[in-house]
Amino acid sequence: MEPDFLVVGAQRAGTTSLFRTLSEHPDIARPTASKGIGYFDLNHHRGRRWYLGHFPLRLGRAGQSTFESSGYYAFHPLAAARIAEDLPDVKVILVVRNPVDRAHSAHRHELARGFETLQFEEALEAEESRLDGEVERILEDPRYESFSHRHHAYLGRGRYAEQVERLVRELGRERVHVVDADRMFVDPEAELTGLFAWLGLAGWLPDGFRRENARPRAAMDVDLRARLERYFEPSDRALAAHLGRPPSWRADDRGDA
């Protein structure tokens, strides 16, 4: 089978929870090996045959779909174009959450994995210098793996509008769907019903929808949070145009429930 849709990010935004739920849908077959194959970002040189080896054989009932979820696809500068070329009919799903919380969660995640040594505010200050020239290096050498671009882009990965615009440019607006994770966890029925309808799948709801792979929230300095909220405001406004409404973390600012 070839994937009919991909979950392309964002990292630490609820993609694991969505992956588990999608895998339970009666009309969806999950990939055979793992959640994240990482083909369109880090393993594209391995070739199409290697990629398709991660999906089930078409032995199920007619009409069954398959998919994968790799959280770096949306942010990797080459992935969208590769997806468009290799899978011309595939649909992509980007899961977003409050970018301030996402950045803080991602930092704690990288710290726990041993990929980060700086404290949160220090890492934010170092991000620009750490990532300086890395996108250009990736574009010049498609096999180049940038450690900092992958693990230290706390601000960059939260500028969702840039990623949506790249996906839309390469794939077309009708093939890109944005899921607001904060709304999904509050009202999974509404978010999942809309998603399944967009995918052309039968309406279905899991017995329960839970947060997977979550870490307990840690306190953040109030002034730092306010600075980050101001930093992300232009991107959040641009994202609202793609969502058709303000993202959940900005809804109160617009007087929108």
Print the SS3 string covering the chain. CCCCEEEEECCCCCHHHHHHHHHHCCCEECCCCCCCCCCCCCCHHHCHHHHHCCCCCCCCCCCCEEEEECCCCCCCCCHHHHHHHHCCCCEEEEEECCHHHHHHHHHHHHHHHCCCCCCHHHHHHHHHHHHCCHHHHHHHCCCCCCHHHHHCCCCHHHCHHHHHHHHHHHHCHHHEEEEEHHHHHHCHHHHHHHHHHHHCCCCCCCCCCCCCCCCCCCCCCHHHHHHHHHHHHHHHHHHHHHHCCCCHHHHHHHCCC
- Indicate the fold that domain 5-254 takes in CATH: Rossmann fold (3.40.50)
pLDDT in tens, the chain (257 residues): 899 999 999 999 989 999 989 988 999 988 876 678 999 999 999 999 999 999 988 765 556 899 999 999 999 999 999 999 999 999 999 999 999 999 999 999 999 999 999 999 999 999 999 999 999 999 999 999 999 999 999 999 999 999 999 999 999 999 999 999 999 988 888 899 999 999 999 888 887 666 655 556 678 999 999 999 999 999 999 999 989 999 999 986 444 43
State the pTM of this model.
0.91
The residue extents of the domains of the chain are 5-254
